[in-house]
Structure 1
Amino acid sequence: METHELVVHPAYPPLEVSKVHASIISRDANWLRLRWRIDGAAKLVVPAFAGKGRADELWRATCFELFLMPRGGDAYSEFNLSPSERWAAYDFSSYRDGMENRPSPREPDCTMRKGSSFAIFDAAIPAGAIPVEECEAGLTCVLEEEGGIKSFWALCHPQEQPDFHDPACFTVQLAAPSAA
Structure 2
Amino acid sequence: LHFVNDEVAEGFALDALKSSHPIEVEIDNPNELDEIYDSITYAKSNSVNRMLCNYLGEDVFQKGLRIYLNRFKYGNAVTEDLWNAHSEASGQDVKTLMSSWTKQMGFPLVSVQQTVDGNKRVLKLTQKRFIADGTADENNSVWQVPITASTSADPSVIKHRMLMKEREQEFVIEGVKP
Q: Same fold (TM over 0.5)?
A: no
User: Relative contact order (alpha carbons < 8 A, sep ≥ 6): 1 or 2 greater?
Assistant: 1
TM-score where L is the length of structure 1 = 0.29
TM-score for the superposition, normalised by structure 2: 0.29
Q: Is the radius of gyration larger for structure 1 or structure 2?
A: 2
The structure where strand makes up a greater share of residues is 1
